[in-house]
């Protein structure tokens, strides 16, 4: 095939937070045997946001695809394992539920497991859904073992992710990318030069140095230095669906066992996270400033942490939403410069990798084709909206009425796309099938179940089963999980034995 298109020779990445270094590592790994030059500019004075410590399972595949040794990465980033999220006080005060990674149960003779469980429940079985989730059973016992090392046992279908120190993860990725030839330039971008048709030509640093490129990736965080301040790509706020707009964070020393899961505890005007790492614990209170002040949020956070604070409380404002054009002209935005849907399901770092993967699939030439840009922007929006709806589900199904914030959530107007999913679930006990979705049906079932949203009935085909036979299979599966989980080391023992630096 002959082409008149010229390949991109130089990419400039502005920003060296998690987004910037994931972009640099991914692109340099793919183009390692080519002449493509990648230069990353970051300002030590501005620094990184320094939060973003809980991840989801695709991170493990990303590390694999970069050829990064998992245990080495865990040691260097002081990471611990995460099997899911424990939600406390979301439905009503005193209620909790677990959202595990991976599937809950296995299909039985081709019948969807959730339908089997619904049928059994309708017959009077009181076994909780999560008794069939390997992650949930391990998490409840504070145990951990790498699923791929538990071949031919029910644990092999478990999924896990990491809690990591974002500063150390950035350093690790920087080291990786620099070894592949990425040039790092320290300095503050003070001016952005555009061509006469509005494309970005170069950035000028405070030192006067000019850095030009064919293509720019804006990873400058919430400020969106190129994508917004220069190209004015617009931002759609989702505060009418997700009202939290600030977080206060504090790090503490570790006390007690290292939970293999994130805790998300609902509070009077939002929710609080606890993320245990090997060397410390990250804590934060995500809240809405319409209902409480920063001072009240700080006091609530400090009153609810375990251990002694090792940093001062820091308040971070944010607006939940998405850039109207995440890719505009010769500029792609990633990370917080692209959008932010609040950290409830730890999806931001994943979205960086996922949206870079789309960019690689639609990688431009110097001539850039609007078809690719439009498709990229459409695809990114689909992902963000899917995650937004999933997060809204956590809030809108609350039965809490004890504060103004929760009354608002209980009565909020939800996105039409979510209403459709809820209606379908109630009518069928299933989900409308979608393509390439991040949160698979079992994640939705976990939240529906945890928030006590019940379908009107199970699928009528379940009545073709001899119930006693079905019950015996379910009981055997449940007991099998308990037996194998009991044999595993505690999460702390596992970390000490295999992952201590």
Query: Which residues of the chain form contacts with ligand FAD (CB under 6 A)?
Result: 14-20, 41-43, 46-49, 51-55, 166, 188-189, 219-221, 223, 225, 247, 284, 316, 318, 335-337, 343, 346, 348-349
253-286 per-residue burial string, b: 16 or more CB within 10 A, e: under 16 = ebeeebbbbbbbbbbbbbbbbbbbbbbbbbbbbb
8 Å CB contact between 316 and 246: yes
Tell me whether residue 18 or residue 398 sits nearer to ligand FAD (CB atom): 18
Q: Residue 100: CB partners within 8 Å, gap ≥ 6?
A: 83, 84, 130, 133, 134, 135, 136, 139, 159, 442, 446
The nearer residue to ligand FAD, 120 or 166, going by C-beta atoms, is: 166
- The nearest distance, CB 119 to ligand FAD, in angstroms, is 37
For residue 48 the two structure tokens come to 């990184």
Question: In the bound complex, what is the minimum distance in angstroms from residue 39's beta carbon to ligand FAD?
Answer: 12
Q: Which is nearer to ligand FAD, 19 or 129 (CB)?
A: 19
Closer CB to ligand FAD, 15 or 243, in the complex: 15
Distance of alpha carbon 434 from the chain centroid: 19
Strands (E), 124-198: 161-163, 183-186, 189-194
CB of 25 to ligand FAD, least distance (A): 13
With vertex at residue 440, the alpha carbon angle to CA 438 and CA 443, rounded to the nearest 5 degrees, is 105
Query: Which CB atom, from 225 or from 305, has the smaller least distance to ligand FAD?
Result: 225
- Which residue has 């963000």 as its token pair? 384
Least distance from ligand FAD to the Cβ atom of residue 383, Å: 14
- Chain-centre distance of CA 373, in angstroms? 24
CB of 220 to ligand FAD, least distance (A): 4
Residue whose CB is less far from ligand FAD, 318 or 408: 318
Radius of gyration of the chain (CA): 24
Taking the least distance from each CB to ligand FAD, the nearer of 165 and 492 is: 165
Task: Provide the minimum distance between the beta carbon of 162 and ligand FAD in the complex, in angstroms, as a whole number.
Answer: 10
Between residues 184 and 478, which has the closer beta carbon with respect to ligand FAD?
184
**Integer CA distances (angstroms), 105 to 101, 390, 478, 480, in order:** 12, 21, 9, 11
Sheet with 339-340: strands ordered across = 235-237, 321-323, 339-340
**Facing residues of 272 across strands?**
265, 285
**CB 226, min distance to ligand FAD, A:** 10
The CB-of-108 to ligand FAD minimum distance in angstroms stands at 34
Q: Partners of 39 in the beta sheet?
A: 12, 183
Q: Nearest approach, Cβ of 44 to ligand FAD (angstroms)?
A: 7
Distance CA 167, CA 164 (A): 9
Nearer to ligand FAD, 338 or 377 (CB): 338
* Residue 499 and residue 278 in contact, taking contact as beta carbons nearer than 8 Å: yes
């Amino acid at each position: 095939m002959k082409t008149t298109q010229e390949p991109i020779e130089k990419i400039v990445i502005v920003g060296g937070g998690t987004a910037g270094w994931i972009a640099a590592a991914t692109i340099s790994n793919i183009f390692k045997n080519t002449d493509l030059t990648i230069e990353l500019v970051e300002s030590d004075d501005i620094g990184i946001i320094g939060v973003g410590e809980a991840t989801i399972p695709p991170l493990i595949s990303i590390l694999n695809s970069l050829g990064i040794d998992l245990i080495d990465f865990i040691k260097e980033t002081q990471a611990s394992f995460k099997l899911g999220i424990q939600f406390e006080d979301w439905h009503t005060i005193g209620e909790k539920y677990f959202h595990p990674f991976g599937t809950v149960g296995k299909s039985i003779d081709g019948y969807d497991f959730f339908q089997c469980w619904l049928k059994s429940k309708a017959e009077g079985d009181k076994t909780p859904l999560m008794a069939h989730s390997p992650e949930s059973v391990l998490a409840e016992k504070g145990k951990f073992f790498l699923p791929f090392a538990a071949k031919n046992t029910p644990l092999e279908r478990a999924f896990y992710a990491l809690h990591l120190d974002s500063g150390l993860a950035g350093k690790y990725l920087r080291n990786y990318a620099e070894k592949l030839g990425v040039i790092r330039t320290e300095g503050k971008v003070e001016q952005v030069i555009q061509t006469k048709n509005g494309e970005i030509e170069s950035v000028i640093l405070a030192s006067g140095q000019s850095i030009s490129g064919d293509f720019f990736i804006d990873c400058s965080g919430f400020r969106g230095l190129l994508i917004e301040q220069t190209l004015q790509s617009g931002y759609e706020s989702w505060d009418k669906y997700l009202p939290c707009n600030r977080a206060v964070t504090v790090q503490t020393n570790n006390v007690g066992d290292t939970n293999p899961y994130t805790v998300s505890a609902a509070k009077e005007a939002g929710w609080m996270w606890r993320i245990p790492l090997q060397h410390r614990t990250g804590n934060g209170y995500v809240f809405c400033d319409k209902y409480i002040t920063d001072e009240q949020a700080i006091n609530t956070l400090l009153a609810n942490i375990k251990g002694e604070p090792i940093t001062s409380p820091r308040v971070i404002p944010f607006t939940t939403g998405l850039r109207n054009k995440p890719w505009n002209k010769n500029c792609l935005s990633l990370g917080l410069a692209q959008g932010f849907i609040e950290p409830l399901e730890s999806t931001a770092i994943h979205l960086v990798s996922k949206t870079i993967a789309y960019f690689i699939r639609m990688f431009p030439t110097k001539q850039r084709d609007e078809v690719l840009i439009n498709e990229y922007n459409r695809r990114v929006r689909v992902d963000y909206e899917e995650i937004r709806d999933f997060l809204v589900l956590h809030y809108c199904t609350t039965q809490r009425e004890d504060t103004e914030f929760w009354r608002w959530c209980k009565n909020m107007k939800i996105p039409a796309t979510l209403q459709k999913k809820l209606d379908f679930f109630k009518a069928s006990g299933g989900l409308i099938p979608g393509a390439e979705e991040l949160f698979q049906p079992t994640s939705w079932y976990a939240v529906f179940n945890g928030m006590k949203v019940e379908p009107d009935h199970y699928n009528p085909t379940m009545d073709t089963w001899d119930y006693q036979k079905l019950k015996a299979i379910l009981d055997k599966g449940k007991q099998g999980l308990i037996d194998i989980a009991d044999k595993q080391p505690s999460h702390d023992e596992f970390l000490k034995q295999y992952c201590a630096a």
